[in-house]
Chain A
Amino acid sequence: MKLSRKWLTEFVDLSLAECGDREFAERMSVSGSKVESTEDLSESMHGVLAGRLLSIEKHPNSDHMLVTQVDVGRAEPVQICTGAWNVHAGDLVPVALHNSLLPGGVKITKGKLRGVLSDGMLCSLKELDLTVHDYAYGVIKAAAILGDYHPLDPQKPSIPADIRAGDKIYGKVIAAQVTGVENAGVNLWRCALETGKGPAETVSDCQNIHVGDLVAYDTGKDRICSLEDLRAQQAEFPHCIPDGIFIMHEDVRPGDDIRTLLGRDDHVVEFEITPNRPDCLCVIGLARETAVTFGKPLKLHTPVVEAKAGGDIHQLAKIIVEEPELCPRYTARMVKNVKIAPSPEWMRERIRNAGMRPINNIVDITNYVMIEYGQPMHAFDFSCVDEREIHVRRAREGEVIRTLDGTERKLSSSMLCICDTHKPVGVAGVMGGENSEIVGDTAMVLFESANFNGASIRRTATALGMRTDASSRYEKGLDPENTYKAVQRACELIELLGAGEVVDGVIDVYPKKYEPAVLKLEPEKINALLGTQISRGTMRHILMSLGFTLEGDQVNVPSWRSDVSHYSDLAEEVARFYGYNEIPTEFTGSVTTCGGFNEKQLCEREIGAVCRSLGLDEIITYSFISPSYYDKIRLPADSPLRDSLRILNPLGEDTSIMRTTVLPSMLEILTRNYNFRNKAAALYEIGRTYLKRPDGLADEPRVVSIGAYGPEMDFFVLKGWVEELAESLDVGALRFEAEREDPSYHPGRCAKVYAGERCLGVLGQIHPAVAENYGVDTELYCAELSFEALFEAKGGIPVYKPLPRFPAVTRDIAVVCDEKTPVGHLTDCIRRAGRPYLADCALFDVYTGHHIAAGKKSVAFSLTMRSEEQTLTDEHAEETVKKVLQALEKDFGAVMR
């Protein structure tokens, strides 16, 4: 919401001099009306003065530029070059001088244009951030100047290059030389012509005609032809454009600052209004907040309508509200003998400064009232309303209306419409229909000032994809008591502007009067909630100045404050103006609680710490993935993992389902790093997966996801990580089983890991086909370990084991066995057979090749033996080795090498 400080002073005596923008913003923000920004409009534009063109000459080095001498109220005129052709000597124009600033941050400095000094720039409407709605006479019309003719096909010109006055162009159109131009009123020029057959004179509304120009003259219609008349394209006359300098017809003198003319001597404050306070989306609402914030009176005005046209609206119009639930109130007044014209400068200025565009007096009045009172209004051309009846009803399914923005809208029965007896003339609270639009010859206007159900308006606006100024106000729920005041104000403005004659009487369909909430003022409860000692008197004062009325302890909430329904709401009102920052800052909680992490959270932190000590970087990935990722990781079509929760309204396919596995997320990040040409990556994430539950919600188990690639990576590095992780959590002995079935992993380089009978997860090299699906041609390694399983398997507090007192004896053995025999099985066998003295058994070599039979391998272990009771002798050691060798031979046919 943009608020003009000038407009505000109509309701609260708070001048810019008394309170600068900074202080205003600070105090309003801390009382609850958050200020987003403040803007001194005069700062965003300066150095633009009114100037009178003294003379215009052709630029010596350009075929389309003009050199002008301009009186800007100084002793010497300034010289300015322009490419616009709509200027004439004597014109009053806006001049941006050297070092000036235009809206939008454009800086103007002097410079040479094709060798000729230009001391600034002549401005168009657009350059001043204006449109023809601000100055209707600013419309520019261009004649086709034959000297500017550039044939589309140079080989086949429609107009010969050597055309001269008197030559025929087509039909009755001939070339004519302009011999004189003089002003004949706003945008009118009396041109003297040499037609080749003698002089002629005509008045043209084209503004780009100058003495010496060769023009196309329609002798039949006695007019100088525009491009349209010649059916020429813009490209054929590149400089004869309907654009140019803003020629002013205003009461300004050379040297006057344009900012005063445009109302740019104002400051605009932009507020962020929270959705519970639609009453603040208007000047009066913000004025009320300002008045209480600054302790000043609020000066409200009651509109007075004379209704000189007499008559009775009830004789002229009928309003039937068929859906009182969706339209609690519909208030209307009628205006006859409407004269559509631009609204006065002061109104255009206020509308502009509030961030809207002026259109014409009637439309501007509706917008003005909306900005001032917060009540959206609509004006219908009543002559377009069949049988003079307005029906507020639901649209018929499939009914169509073309709205003011020129778009065909297909309506549905959930949408409320304003209709006549046959057709919709507006989408209620959203936008009017083109069929009843205010146009130049509108003579009879019906002002609608209605209250609609906010939720319904919001749904309609959303469904139609058109959020308008009106709908965004309505959707928050407006004050039904406001409709009457607003329509009165609109009619008052009609009379003030002389824009028409107001018909007597008001139609006000308001079957169920709004009952405002009634609350009890309980100061002790409010103080207990805030931790303050604010007096009852202070509370009463704050509430009353906000428009609440009090009868004893009974608080009557004003109609515009439907957000207040509970004592805690009153507490907020009191606190806002007592000052949030005045509330004492003290710890008042009574009981001390013992904070901390729970067991699971501690385990999660420990896993993270171990992963980092292993050199893994932590990543954070999206929980949603694309269904196609399941194909990428080669999940079979019937895999239960494909049964994902599906988002019905995803941003896109790529983020449309909740992952049931963390693998695709990890692979995506590994791939990204690979594509970034990072030589290596080693990553982890403790990520959630989302598994459908019968009740429609999800189990969200976490998975420790590890992924890596790089020159140092192989299966055993990955396995080492998993072992270290398990060991640091003290999950007990691990068992790794070759896993050939997991479709995402290399069938020969994948294992499931168990702690006892509990499967902790899977690890291995990613299947080359999967890597290829990701466009990666290096080996990727991943592990997926169940966080819950790790947590369950986690050991307790470690118990001290005495350090060995007797020395150990070591013996190395090498056995030859079948190549397929897993080393893990040999190790298990050795550990079993080596009891009681075997303390450790470490693999140190696996060898195939020379001296070893085909299909066999040599495996070498280092055995460490120790006793807690004695120093072991050679005999003890030999005996243990013998038992081990016997067992290996018995179980695996492994023989000593």
Chain B
Amino acid sequence: MKEKMQALRESSLKAIVDCSSAELLEDLRVKYLGKKGELTAILRQMGALSAEERPVMGQLANQLRADIEQAVAARRAELAAGALEAKLEKETLDVTMPGVKKRLGHKHPMYNVLDQIKDIFIGMGFEIEDGPEVELADYNFTKLNIDESHPSRDWTDTFYFTPDSRILLRTQTSPMQIHAMERRKPPIRILAPGRVYRKDEVDATHSPMFHQIEGLVVDKGVTMSDLKATLNLVVEKIYGKGTVTRFRPHHFPFTEPSCELDIQCHKCGGKGCPTCKGEGWIEVLGAGMVHPKVLSGCGIDPDVYSGWAFGMGLERLALGEYKITDMRLIFENDVRFLEQF
């Protein structure tokens, strides 16, 4: 009997190690350990043994069962690991192949820049104002202290809807100053971006329709000093910290004193280069203290309140930001262009 068990041990353990699949392994387990298995068959013969031999043989048999079970378990684990490995190998992908993308849309580059500017001003307590593009000459010119004979009123410069030059397409966002002052009570802090129109033929730097951003502050004690502080901050936000600015006297009928804000050319550091046309400075915006006549025309007492305003062109800003070389691209709306932003 002992010999039989020894033979079974050898044959079974070898068969288990050699076994190549989980199914065959299960068959082997049944073959050796099952109710009708070989070990069972050997154990059936235990009755023929002496009382002394029985516990010894029993112990041997139990040991053999345990060893076979352990061998099966070990082999099963090996086979499972192998199978998983094979599966993973089979599932291996070429990860350099392209991903499946859901195409997202793109904001127009100019409105990217506009949103950036809106955010800057909102952070400083400004609200956004909106107003009509079909406008009265009164708002576009007269109430802005632009006299009747001013060349900008010419039919060669401004689009008109009525022969008496009363209704027009606004040529600037400055009429929004008037609307804001008529609608609101100080303190006023508004930003009014929008479309404006001038009679310019389309070329790389001109368009009969373009965009401006108007800003207006009216309050007690507002000074030119405040204008400078605010606009310096805005320019730093747009062009980066450390941007050098200079304020230069200029003329607008609706502000006095008036100024233009230049930034030092970032390309040449002020030495003069093609980007700044050799001047070392790039003009960014026009601004000034709201003309007292404009304030009083809107029912705001210039002896109590003062204000400042600014206006800047959006196209030029966007063109500069993205190094776009031709304004026509802005209004052409080629998807190959739009996708880039």
Chain B positions 86 through 125: 1 when the CB is less than 8 Å from some CB of chain A, otherwise 0: 0000000000000000111111101100000010011111
Which residues of A in the span 8-29 have a Cβ within 8 Å of any Cβ on B? 25, 29
Chain A positions 669 through 685: 1 when the CB is less than 8 Å from some CB of chain B, otherwise 0: 10011001010111110
State whether the Cβ of B187 lies closer than 8 Å to any Cβ in chain A. yes
A528–B304 Cα distance when bound, in Å, is 11
A621–B219 Cα distance when bound, in Å, is 37
User: In this complex, what residue of A is CB-closest to B162?
Assistant: A696
State whether the Cβ of A439 lies closer than 8 Å to any Cβ in chain B. no
State whether the Cβ of A598 lies closer than 8 Å to any Cβ in chain B. yes
Q: Which residues of A contact B102 (CB under 8 A)?
A: 615
* B49 CB to nearest A CB, Å: 61
Contact assessment for B151 and A475 in the assembled complex, using a CB-CB cutoff below 8 Å: yes
State whether the Cβ of B297 lies closer than 8 Å to any Cβ in chain A. no
Contact assessment for A587 and B226 in the assembled complex, using a CB-CB cutoff below 8 Å: yes
State whether the Cβ of B323 lies closer than 8 Å to any Cβ in chain A. no
A475–B152 Cα distance when bound, in Å, is 13
Chain A positions 837 through 860: 1 when the CB is less than 8 Å from some CB of chain B, otherwise 0: 000000000000000000000000
Q: Which residues of B contact A597 (CB under 8 A)?
A: 118, 122, 127-128
Q: Which residues of B contact A650 (CB under 8 A)?
A: 159
A591–B256 Cα distance when bound, in Å, is 23
B249 CB contact (under 8 Å) in A32, A590, A672: A32
Contact assessment for B257 and A617 in the assembled complex, using a CB-CB cutoff below 8 Å: no
State whether the Cβ of B169 lies closer than 8 Å to any Cβ in chain A. yes
- Which listed segment binds B: A569-577, A797-805, A814-822? A569-577
Contact assessment for B226 and A586 in the assembled complex, using a CB-CB cutoff below 8 Å: yes
Contact assessment for B226 and A589 in the assembled complex, using a CB-CB cutoff below 8 Å: yes
Residue in B135, B159, B249 with the greatest tally of chain A CB atoms within 10 Å = B249
Contact assessment for A568 and B160 in the assembled complex, using a CB-CB cutoff below 8 Å: no
Q: Which residues of B contact A613 (CB under 8 A)?
A: 104-105
A647–B169 Cα distance when bound, in Å, is 9
State whether the Cβ of A132 lies closer than 8 Å to any Cβ in chain B. no
Decide: A593 near B125, CB < 8 A? Known: A619-B333, A672-B332, A672-B334. Answer: yes
A575 CB contact (under 8 Å) in B160, B166, B257: B257
Q: Which residues of A contact B209 (CB under 8 A)?
A: 622-624
State whether the Cβ of A620 lies closer than 8 Å to any Cβ in chain B. yes
State whether the Cβ of A400 lies closer than 8 Å to any Cβ in chain B. no
B161 CB contact (under 8 Å) in A530, A648, A688: A648
- Which listed segment binds A: B21-29, B30-38, B70-78, B285-293? B285-293
Decide: A588 near B223, CB < 8 A? Known: A576-B249, A595-B123, A613-B104. Answer: yes
B208 CB contact (under 8 Å) in A31, A571, A651, A681: A651
Which residues of A in the span 604-651 have a Cβ within 8 Å of any Cβ on B? 608, 611-624, 645-651
User: In this complex, what residue of A is CB-closest to B189?
Assistant: A593
State whether the Cβ of A733 lies closer than 8 Å to any Cβ in chain B. no
- Which listed segment binds B: A167-175, A274-282, A479-487, A554-562? A274-282
A623–B251 Cα distance when bound, in Å, is 30
Which residues of B in the span 126-140 have a Cβ within 8 Å of any Cβ on A? 126-128, 130, 132-136
Q: Which residues of B contact A683 (CB under 8 A)?
A: 333, 335
Q: Which residues of A contact B160 (CB under 8 A)?
A: 647-649
* A72 CB to nearest B CB, Å: 33
State whether the Cβ of A374 lies closer than 8 Å to any Cβ in chain B. no
Contact assessment for A620 and B257 in the assembled complex, using a CB-CB cutoff below 8 Å: no
User: In this complex, what residue of B is CB-closest to A673?
Assistant: B335
A591–B209 Cα distance when bound, in Å, is 36
Residue in B118, B132, B333, B339 with the greatest tally of chain A CB atoms within 10 Å = B333
State whether the Cβ of A531 lies closer than 8 Å to any Cβ in chain B. yes
B201 CB contact (under 8 Å) in A455, A651, A673: A651
* B276 CB to nearest A CB, Å: 11
User: In this complex, what residue of A is CB-closest to B251?
Assistant: A274
- A-B interface pairs (CB < 8 A), number: 253
Decide: A34 near B248, CB < 8 A? Known: A588-B225, A622-B331, A623-B209. Answer: yes
Chain B positions 133 through 169: 1 when the CB is less than 8 Å from some CB of chain A, otherwise 0: 1111000000000001101001110011111001101
* B228 CB to nearest A CB, Å: 5
Contact assessment for A595 and B189 in the assembled complex, using a CB-CB cutoff below 8 Å: yes
Decide: A618 near B111, CB < 8 A? Known: A645-B161, A650-B159. Answer: yes
State whether the Cβ of A37 lies closer than 8 Å to any Cβ in chain B. yes
State whether the Cβ of B336 lies closer than 8 Å to any Cβ in chain A. yes
A648–B253 Cα distance when bound, in Å, is 26
A207–B258 Cα distance when bound, in Å, is 60
Contact assessment for A690 and B128 in the assembled complex, using a CB-CB cutoff below 8 Å: no
A462–B153 Cα distance when bound, in Å, is 12
Which residues of A in the span 667-710 have a Cβ within 8 Å of any Cβ on B? 669, 672-673, 676, 678, 680-684, 688, 690, 696-698, 700
Contact assessment for B248 and A29 in the assembled complex, using a CB-CB cutoff below 8 Å: yes
User: In this complex, what residue of B is CB-closest to A646?
Assistant: B161
User: In this complex, what residue of B is CB-closest to A676?
Assistant: B334
Which residues of A in the span 526-561 have a Cβ within 8 Å of any Cβ on B? 528-532
Decide: A581 near B222, CB < 8 A? Known: A595-B121, A612-B104, A647-B160. Answer: no
* A567 CB to nearest B CB, Å: 8
Residue in A620, A648, A688, A698 with the greatest tally of chain B CB atoms within 10 Å = A620
Contact assessment for A682 and B105 in the assembled complex, using a CB-CB cutoff below 8 Å: yes
Decide: A583 near B228, CB < 8 A? Known: A530-B223, A622-B209. Answer: yes
User: In this complex, what residue of B is CB-closest to A649?
Assistant: B155
Decide: A619 near B108, CB < 8 A? Known: A584-B225, A696-B167, A697-B136. Answer: yes
B105 CB contact (under 8 Å) in A614, A651, A696: A614
A459–B126 Cα distance when bound, in Å, is 42
Q: Which residues of B contact A594 (CB under 8 A)?
A: 125
Q: Which residues of A contact B277 (CB under 8 A)?
A: 37
* B2 CB to nearest A CB, Å: 62
Q: Which residues of B contact A700 (CB under 8 A)?
A: 132-134
State whether the Cβ of A105 lies closer than 8 Å to any Cβ in chain B. no
Decide: A531 near B223, CB < 8 A? Known: A613-B104, A613-B105, A650-B159. Answer: yes
Contact assessment for A30 and B246 in the assembled complex, using a CB-CB cutoff below 8 Å: yes
Q: Which residues of B contact A99 (CB under 8 A)?
A: none
State whether the Cβ of A873 lies closer than 8 Å to any Cβ in chain B. no
State whether the Cβ of A51 lies closer than 8 Å to any Cβ in chain B. no
State whether the Cβ of A315 lies closer than 8 Å to any Cβ in chain B. no
Contact assessment for A617 and B222 in the assembled complex, using a CB-CB cutoff below 8 Å: no
Contact assessment for B335 and A696 in the assembled complex, using a CB-CB cutoff below 8 Å: no
Contact assessment for B108 and A618 in the assembled complex, using a CB-CB cutoff below 8 Å: yes
Contact assessment for A696 and B166 in the assembled complex, using a CB-CB cutoff below 8 Å: yes
Q: Which residues of B contact A34 (CB under 8 A)?
A: 248, 250, 260
User: In this complex, what residue of B is CB-closest to A620?
Assistant: B108
User: In this complex, what residue of B is CB-closest to A588?
Assistant: B226
Contact assessment for A620 and B333 in the assembled complex, using a CB-CB cutoff below 8 Å: yes
State whether the Cβ of B221 lies closer than 8 Å to any Cβ in chain A. yes
A681–B106 Cα distance when bound, in Å, is 12
Contact assessment for A528 and B223 in the assembled complex, using a CB-CB cutoff below 8 Å: yes
Q: Which residues of A contact B110 (CB under 8 A)?
A: 620
Q: Which residues of B contact A658 (CB under 8 A)?
A: 134, 169
Q: Which residues of B contact A (CB under 8 A)?
A: 102-108, 110-111, 118, 121-128, 130, 132-136, 148-149, 151, 154-156, 159-163, 166-167, 169, 187, 189, 195, 197, 199, 201, 208-209, 217, 219-226, 228-230, 232, 246-251, 253, 256-260, 277-279, 289, 291-293, 306, 330-336, 338-339
Q: Which 8 A-B pairs have the closest CB atoms?
A: A531-B225, A531-B223, A455-B149, A32-B249, A572-B257, A612-B105, A274-B251, A698-B134
Q: Which residues of A contact B (CB under 8 A)?
A: 25, 29-32, 34-37, 274-277, 454-455, 458-459, 462, 475, 528-532, 563, 566-569, 571-572, 575-576, 580-581, 583-598, 601, 608, 611-624, 645-651, 655, 658, 669, 672-673, 676, 678, 680-684, 688, 690, 696-698, 700
Could you jot down 26 A-B contacts, CB within 8 Å? A31-B249, A32-B250, A455-B148, A575-B224, A580-B249, A580-B259, A581-B247, A583-B228, A583-B247, A586-B229, A588-B229, A589-B219, A590-B221, A593-B125, A596-B127, A598-B128, A612-B106, A617-B333, A618-B108, A620-B330, A623-B133, A648-B161, A649-B156, A673-B333, A673-B335, A688-B195
**Known interface pairs A698-B134, A700-B133; 6 further A-B residue pairs with C-beta atoms within 8 A, sorted by A's residue number:** A276-B253, A566-B291, A580-B257, A593-B125, A598-B128, A647-B159
